[in-house]
A and B are shown apart, each in its own frame.
Chain A
Amino acid sequence: MQEIFQNQKSILITGTNGKSTVAYILKEIFLKAEINVISNLQREHTKEFRANEFLEDRLVAYKSKKQTILILEIDEADFQYFAEKIQPDFIIVTNFSRNQMERYGELYTLRKNIDRGLELSPKSKIILCADDPLVAALAENRKSDCYYYGMDNFPARDSSPEIFRSTPRRANLPRHDLEDYTYGLFYREAPHCSFCGTELEYQGLAYANYGSYYCPNCQFRRPNLDLGVTALERDMNGVDYVFQNWLADRASRRRNHNSIKFNFKIPGLFNGYNAGAATLCALLFNLSLTDIITTLEQILPENGRFELLPHLPSERPICLVTASNPEAVNCALHEIMHFEDFAGLMISNDSIAGFQQDVSWLWDIFFEQMPYAGIVGVGGDYAYDLALRLFYSGVEKERMIIEQDHKKLQSKMAMTIDRPGRFYWLANKPARYSIRKLFVRDLTIEEAK
């Protein structure tokens, strides 16, 4: 496979969440720059299928003789295989979170797989999320060039939604009462230093374990950023960001004119990270920040990324949000419930054969702090597991609409809630696919991914 890919640039994207969003944004950026792109957005679950698919696409690319960039979203389980075979120019690692633990058993096992994959592709330039300590620690002892993206500022504690007010220092917290647990502290990934095991301290926290951390015992700390993301105003229509290109001043760390403010139409702070990853990668391809931002401004929410599902003018608008792990659900919940147009919440989880069978993670979602006292609709294969979880978090039976069938759930919600505004529908990946199949006509394989 290596010789097939050796004459063109290639990017591998891996991590537990955000891979397809980063791939999608990168693809848009390169296409806008009139660079031919081959991507594996039609993902299937076998190596063979993917390899064959790429081969066929590659032949098409040869015929066109255009400059081509391969953008490959690689499942964590397959990363070693593809990193070794392709020897990509760039590898992006987004994050590690408790997602599909039934497949990987442990987060650290997953991290070891990625670490080994990076070793097997020693010449690749590596792009890492600086704010995730598990990801940033991958740079240790790495001979290849590493580049970092992350938050340049963190929301002020007294003026931001509750989710952002968490303090990571255990000593500052009440010592008893479960409800007093500050969000994310005890259930966030990797609270301890990857090298010495000491509890990390944070100077600022975006959400979960994403922030500006340092180990009080050893030298490990968040690396300097090459692409800084500053989140400003945010609402249901998107987020105002400032993206700062630090690459130009890597040595001096002087802030210069190379920063741009823009509106990104996909809400969710985690999508700010995804846009940051794609932007840093594009900068390393020598595209200009101005051109990249111009493309980012034009990207619309789609494929379950705060996507407004098609509807008639007379129908209630529904915004579909994919969230498949506790961090993503917590973050999404607290963002959407501060949106002015929030009218109702639906949560659907489905399984698909072979994985997403374990619902343990539902108990790590912090529903106890959900700032919402209205009706909640729950649906999908795990409707009653969700209902049980919500019941124990304090949502009474009378406040729940339980309907495994997504369409019926939506109808019942529409009949029950009068308040104007959008329904927000949180779905894990299999449920996202089922819901989009119902609501989005002519769903292509690519969109369904």
Chain B
Amino acid sequence: MNKLRLAYLYPDYLNLYGDRGNIICLRKRAIWHNFDFEVTRISIGDKFEPYKYDLIFMGGGQDSDQQLIYDDLINDKGERLKEAIEAGIVMLSICGGYQLMGHRYVDHSGREIKGLGILDIETIAKPGRLVGDLIFETQLPIENKVLIGFENHGGRTYLGKKAKPIGKVLVGSGNNGEDQSEGVYYKNLYGTYSHGSFLPRNPDMADYLLKLAVERKGFEWQEDNNSKFNQFVLPARKRILTKYSKLSELEL
């Protein structure tokens, strides 16, 4: 059986908001599509060889935990991660992980923290957290264009000219609460503020990431709309969407 390999960056530090569900979802859906799936945890001090992997995941954590991994990411793994993204590796980064992919992060005290600069974004911490359901509409080539998450962040992310948002916010704040953008993607790197967990609620997005990884590796992805893979997704999405009358016409 063909195997997909995922590198899970800093799982012992960036794990606060149930982002582990994304790994569970990717793993299950890969297996359902007849691939073996191996997860390797990579943390501070661990050797990181991106060419060994097909997917990379980095979640969100507390500010202080992000500070703990910062040196390791920027000074050790960062360059190799950058090269891998340029080469087209598939990566999902959430919240804090997403912010660190940008040019810089300015914290509440005005201190500037340099990011990896892979995404053309910068994040500025401002008073008041942006917390709540996050629903946005994407133009990515997936069937269900409405993506659902739960956001919980203090930083506002502003997009540079080269940044392409993943979607337009329908409910919630998204990147900054000002321009209705949510997330950014570059090549096969996707960054978003959606916890929730994100992928189990949006299985089309999960399959899209897997498909990108499969095709990049030269394997064949077989579309399988087997409804048994999507048990309970519709009613779980419906619970959220029906809270907002303006979304009543949207596809669940």
**Chain A residues proximal to chain B, CB less than 8 Å:** 98, 101-102, 105-108, 170, 175-178, 185-187, 191-192, 197, 199, 357-364, 368, 381-382, 384-385, 387-389, 391-393, 397, 402
Residues of A contacting B200 in the complex (Cβ-Cβ under 8 angstroms): 363, 388-389, 392
Q: Is the CB of B129 within 8 A of A105?
A: yes
Q: Is residue B113 within 8 Å, beta carbon to beta carbon, of the partner chain?
A: no
Q: How far is the CB of A118 from chain B (nearest CB, A)?
A: 19
Other contacts beyond A186-B11, A402-B232: 9, CB < 8 A: A108-B63, A176-B41, A178-B39, A192-B68, A360-B195, A363-B24, A368-B24, A382-B239, A392-B21
Q: A360-B197, A361-B18 are in contact. Are A388 and B131 (CB under 8 A)?
A: no
Selected contact of B12 from candidates A176, A199, A361, A364, CB within 8 Å? A199
The reply to whether B132 and A186 form a contact with Cβ atoms under 8 Å apart is no
Q: Chain B: residues with CB nearer than 8 A to chain A?
A: 11-13, 15-21, 23-25, 27-28, 38-41, 43, 62-65, 68, 129, 131-133, 150, 152, 154, 195-197, 200-201, 228, 231-233, 235-236, 238-239
A363 touches B18 (CB 8 A): yes
Decide if A177 touches B38 in the complex (CB within 8 Å): yes
Query: Total A-B residue pairs with C-beta atoms closer than 8 Å?
Result: 116
Which residues in A have their C-beta under 8 angstroms from that of B18? Answer: 359-364
Given the contacts A102-B152, A358-B150, A384 and B232 also touching, CB distance less than 8 Å: yes
Cβ of B64: which chain A residues have Cβ within 8 Å of it?
Answer: 108
Cα distance, A107 to B64, chains bound together (Å): 10
Structural contact, A178 and B23, CB atoms closer than 8 A: yes
Also in contact, A388 and B16, with CB within 8 A (given A108-B62, A108-B63, A186-B41): no
Known: A177-B38, A360-B197. A105 touches B236 (CB 8 A): no
The 7 closest A-B pairs by CB, nearest first: A363-B21, A360-B18, A363-B18, A384-B235, A388-B232, A387-B232, A384-B236
Nearest Cβ distance between residue A404 and chain B, in whole angstroms?
9
Q: Which of A105, A186, A197, A361 contacts B68 (CB 8 A)?
A: A197
| A66 CB to nearest B CB, Å | 45
| 8 A–B contacts, CB within 8 A, in A order | A102-B152, A108-B63, A192-B68, A359-B150, A363-B24, A364-B20, A382-B239, A391-B231
| Central interface residue in B19, B201, B231, by most chain A CB within 10 Å | B231
Measured CB to CB, the nearest residue on chain B to A185 is B12
Q: How far is the CB of B231 from chain A (nearest CB, A)?
A: 5
For B152, list chain A residues within 8 Å (CB). Answer: 101-102, 105, 358
Q: Does A384 contact B239, Cβ atoms closer than 8 Å?
A: yes
Q: Nearest residue in A to B42 (C-beta to C-beta)?
A: A175
Residue of A nearest to B235 (CB): A384
Per the bound structure, the CA–CA distance linking A388 and B234 in Å amounts to 10
